[in-house]
Amino acid sequence: MDPKWLSKLPDSIATALVEAYESLDEMKRTSDSLTEQAALADLQVYLLNVSLLTTQTFEPGLTILSVPKLKQLARRFRSFYRQLDDLGHHFDRENWKSIFRNKLRI
């Protein structure tokens, strides 16, 4: 994934989203479990959806009209982190959430 795809976003946010996506990709490559690979692919799709929503939120510039999209974006990120938690508990990888929280400091 290329940060230029998210060109409407501030560089720090675009880079963090790309790094998170690439981290998931790396975990997927190094995983021996097909179930884990499928779960990581689902998270990547979810992160792409979050990225699209983020782009739409920032597109017109942040105004009072952006508030509903910002709330929706916050709900999506909370759901994304919840999925990371669930996946981490299932596959015994407690550090997943902290990895992505550090990269996605938005």
CA 96 to CA 68: how far, in whole Å? 29
Residue 93: half-sphere exposure toward Cβ, Cα within 13 Å: 16
For residue 34, give every residue at least 6 positions away whose Cβ sits within 8 Å of its Cβ, in sequence order, or none. none
Going residue by residue through the chain, which has 106 residues, state the pLDDT in tens, using 9 for 90 and above: 656 667 777 888 888 888 888 888 888 888 888 888 888 888 888 888 888 888 877 777 777 777 787 788 888 878 887 877 777 777 666 565 566 666 665 4
CA 85 to CA 11: how far, in whole Å? 27
Angle at 67 between CA 62 and CA 69, to 5 degrees: 90
Task: Give residue limits of the domains in the chain.
Answer: 3-103
pTM (two decimals): 0.66
